[in-house]
Structure 1
Amino acid sequence: MLKTLAIANYRSIRSLVVPLGRLNLITGANGSGKSNFYRALRLLAETAGGGVVGALAREGGLTSALWAGPERISDAMRKGEAPIQGVVRQQPIGLKLGFAGEDFGYAMDLGFPPPPQAPTAFALDPEFKREAIWSGPFLRSSNVLVDRRGPLARVRDGRQWRTLSDHLSAFESLFTQVADPERAPEAIRVRELVRAWRFYDHFRSDREAPARQAQMGTRTVVLGHDGADLAAAWQTIREIGDSEALDAAVEDAFPGAKVDISLDGGRFTLMFSQHGLLRPLSAMELSDGTLRYLLWIAALHTPRPPPLMVLNEPETSLHPDLLPALARLIAHASRRSQVWVVSHASRLIAALEAAPDCHSIALEKDVSQTRVVGQRTLDEPAWYWPER
């Protein structure tokens, strides 16, 4: 389980170090930075698959993603007694992301490349300046296990350091370039942990949504992000997962209802039976809200629970009366996975905050930077970034 998340210089987030729990609820007014918080976590996950530079490019590049305000904001600036203006920069420009878990921590520092020695069309590609993997709750010189500085990657060997590579590509993470389970098992373990994180963001439920169509089905232990394999995932949970919990989740949200899977030549179709109807309804006939809720049931009852599951505005298209049941569904999932929920629905927020293990993180804007409501410097977990 992640214990700490740290973000620096990403869009509206100048610097945040946030403690985490098993069930984390991210709230805040529109424009407070909830989406940036979520996108920063997705960027962090992209490092394990080698896609962080491409993901930044889709956001407009590193220049667009960096914090646009001054390096430091004085009390006079915050009180409006002095204009917001740049000061003499003390630190190099860089986007920093990191986390600390129960076993290992990881941090990276992305910055601009130096002037190219040869002509290139990719002079704006960001570079990995530093990466570090350590044991314990925060980085110290004594607990670093894997250290990457530019093209050089080293691994600790007792009291000495052993070079893994001295020619790493600057635009790729060490996770995609160091794959030696004997010489660097910590890098492999952290990479696989991050790759197992699962993100769900706005299931489609329109008339052409893949989840409405009959699909060829195979055993599906993880619901796809577009929900196309909903029927196959549902049947998989029924056969090798917690079938009783699946039925209970349907009953909780739709009393008297039942979900079955129809098979026709290998094609799977979800059928929804409801009290008072003479025939079951296919997924094509369901309302947007009902279909979306069934997608959440399938996603949160996966037979292969991930270490981290992130749900971005799961209340979208759902009737307010379904939100208490959704909160119970999420709380149940948090027993098997660490869960993040980003939401602005007051009814869902109230229901989740009533859960015993809910850790609420309320965000606000202060002089255009995202901050945690009520968090002061001494409230932050201990955290140190690797120095360039």
Structure 2
Amino acid sequence: MLTTLAIANYRSLREFIAPLGRLNIVTGPNGSGKSNVYRALRLLAVTARGGVIPSLAREGGLPSTLWAGPERFSRAMLAGVVPVQGTRRDEPVSLRLGFAGDDFGYAIDLGLPLLNKNTQFSLDPVIKRECIWNGPLLRPSALLVDRQGASIRTRDDQGDWQTIAQPVASFDSMMTEFSDPRTAPEMIAVRETIRSWRFYDHFRTDSESPVRLPQIGTHTPVLSDDGADLAAALQTIREIGDPSALDAAIDDAFPGSRIDITNLDGRFEVMMHQHGLLRPLKGAELSDGTLRYLLLVAALLTPRPPALLVLNEPETSLHPDLLPALARLIARASGHSQVLVVSHAARLIAALEREGDSQSIVLEKELGATRIVDADALDLPAWKWPSR
């Protein structure tokens, strides 16, 4: 389980360090930085798949994603005595992402490339430093794998450093370019953990959505990002997951209702039986909110729980009366996975806070920078970034 999330210089997250528990609720007013926390977590996730540089490019590149304010605020600026203005830069341009748990920690530092007239990729960010360490806090003695520039070194069983002969390109993460289980088993453990993370954000439920149409069905223990394989995912829960939990989740939200999955020549389709109707409704006939709730049921009752499950505004299109049932479903999922919910729905947040061991991270903006409300009163975890 992650105990710390750390982000520096990503959009409004100038220096953001947050404690994490089993069930986390990230909330705050519009523009407070909730979406930036979600997007930064997704960036962290794609490092294990070699996609961090293309992902930054799709966001407009490093110049568009970097913190746009001054490197530091003077006391006069914080007090409002003088306007916010640029100061002399002392630190290198840097976008940093990291996390830590009781077992391992990981951090990546991205910066600008050196000027090179022989390349057309001069705007691509480069990876300056990557580290994996043992325990919740980076210390020289806890460092296990260290990448500086093109060089990777690992610590052997005797605690001595070994340099990997094959250099790594500036745009490639060591997580994808080096995978020797003999010299760096910790890297494989961290990489596979990150690869198990799942993100669900704004399923399509419009009239043309593939979710509403019959789809070829195969065993689907993990719902896809777009939810197109909903029927197969629900049937997989029915056959190899927890069918009683599935039935209970449907009845909790829609009393007296149940779902079946039809199979016509290998194409699966959702059918929903509702109290008082003489025939079941097909996926194409369901309301946006009903269909979205079924998608969340499939994601949260997965027979293959991830290490981390992140939901971005799951309340979208749901009637407020469905939110307590959704909260119970999310709380159940947190028994098998660490869960992070980004939301501004007061009723969902209140319901989640009543569901056992949950932790609210309330965000606000101060001079354009995202901060945690009453951060001084919280037990914030210690964090140290690797230097260049």
Give the Cα–Cα distance (whole angstroms) in 2 for the partners of residues 268 and 307 of structure 1: 29
Question: Secondary structure of the equivalent of 1:279?
Answer: coil
| Alignment correspondent of 1:121 | 120
AA in 2 matched with 1:137: P
| Alignment correspondent of 1:8 | 8
Identity %: 65
| Alignment correspondent of 1:31 | 31
Whether the aligned pair in 2 keeps the contact of 1:26 and 1:341 (CA below 8 Å) is: yes
Deviations 1:313-350 (A, max 9, x none): 00000111101111111111110100010001111111
Whether the aligned pair in 2 keeps the contact of 1:23 and 1:331 (CA below 8 Å) is: yes
Alignment of 1:6-155 (within 5 A): 6-116=6-116, 118-155=117-154
**Superposed displacement of residue 102, structure 1:** 2.5
| Alignment correspondent of 1:213 | 213
Alignment of 1:261-300 (within 5 A): 261-300=261-300
Alignment of 1:315-334 (within 5 A): 315-334=315-334
Question: Secondary structure of the equivalent of 2:140?
Answer: coil
Give the Cα–Cα distance (whole angstroms) in 2 for the partners of residues 356 and 297 of structure 1: 20
**Superposed displacement of residue 380, structure 1:** 2.4
**Superposed displacement of residue 286, structure 1:** 0.5
**Superposed displacement of residue 377, structure 1:** 9.1
Deviations 1:219-261 (A, max 9, x none): 0000111111111111110000001001000010000001001
**Superposed displacement of residue 84, structure 1:** 1.0
| Alignment correspondent of 1:161 | 161
Whether the aligned pair in 2 keeps the contact of 1:151 and 1:165 (CA below 8 Å) is: no
Give the Cα–Cα distance (whole angstroms) in 1 for the partners of residues 82 and 107 of structure 2: 34
Give the Cα–Cα distance (whole angstroms) in 2 for the partners of residues 378 and 210 of structure 1: 44
Alignment of 1:165-314 (within 5 A): 165=165, 167-314=167-314
Give the Cα–Cα distance (whole angstroms) in 2 for the partners of residues 369 and 224 of structure 1: 34
What's the TM-score, normalizing by structure 2?
A: 0.98
**Superposed displacement of residue 166, structure 1:** 5.3
**Superposed displacement of residue 378, structure 1:** 8.0
Give the Cα–Cα distance (whole angstroms) in 1 for the partners of residues 39 and 253 of structure 2: 30
| Alignment correspondent of 2:352 | 352
Whether the aligned pair in 2 keeps the contact of 1:154 and 1:165 (CA below 8 Å) is: no
Whether the aligned pair in 2 keeps the contact of 1:17 and 1:381 (CA below 8 Å) is: yes
AA in 2 matched with 1:273: H
- Let me know the Cα RMSD of the aligned residues: 1.1
Q: Cα distance 1:366–1:153, how it changes in 2: closer, same or farther (>3 A)? A: same
Give the Cα–Cα distance (whole angstroms) in 2 for the partners of residues 159 and 377 of structure 1: 39
Question: Secondary structure of the equivalent of 2:375?
Answer: coil
Whether the aligned pair in 2 keeps the contact of 1:5 and 1:99 (CA below 8 Å) is: yes
AA in 2 matched with 1:119: N
**Superposed displacement of residue 354, structure 1:** 1.2
Give the Cα–Cα distance (whole angstroms) in 2 for the partners of residues 38 and 15 of structure 1: 15
AA in 2 matched with 1:128: I
Give the Cα–Cα distance (whole angstroms) in 1 for the partners of residues 103 and 179 of structure 2: 20
| Alignment correspondent of 1:384 | 384
Give the Cα–Cα distance (whole angstroms) in 1 for the partners of residues 266 and 91 of structure 2: 60
**Superposed displacement of residue 89, structure 1:** 2.0
Give the Cα–Cα distance (whole angstroms) in 1 for the partners of residues 243 and 175 of structure 2: 37
Give the Cα–Cα distance (whole angstroms) in 2 for the partners of residues 111 and 205 of structure 1: 39
Deviations 1:333-388 (A, max 9, x none): 11010001000111111111112211100000001100000002984211110100
Whether the aligned pair in 2 keeps the contact of 1:111 and 1:128 (CA below 8 Å) is: yes
Deviations 1:79-105 (A, max 9, x none): 111221222222211000000022110
Question: Secondary structure of the equivalent of 1:81?
Answer: coil
Q: Where do 5+ consecutive residues of structure 1 fail to align? A: none
Give the Cα–Cα distance (whole angstroms) in 2 for the partners of residues 380 and 295 of structure 1: 35
Give the Cα–Cα distance (whole angstroms) in 1 for the partners of residues 312 and 47 of structure 2: 20
Give the Cα–Cα distance (whole angstroms) in 1 for the partners of residues 111 and 2 of structure 2: 25
Aligned residues: 387
Q: Cα distance 1:90–1:379, how it changes in 2: closer, same or farther (>3 A)? A: farther
Give the Cα–Cα distance (whole angstroms) in 1 for the partners of residues 379 and 13 of structure 2: 17
Give the Cα–Cα distance (whole angstroms) in 2 for the partners of residues 310 and 329 of structure 1: 14
Give the Cα–Cα distance (whole angstroms) in 2 for the partners of residues 75 and 32 of structure 1: 22
**Superposed displacement of residue 165, structure 1:** 3.7
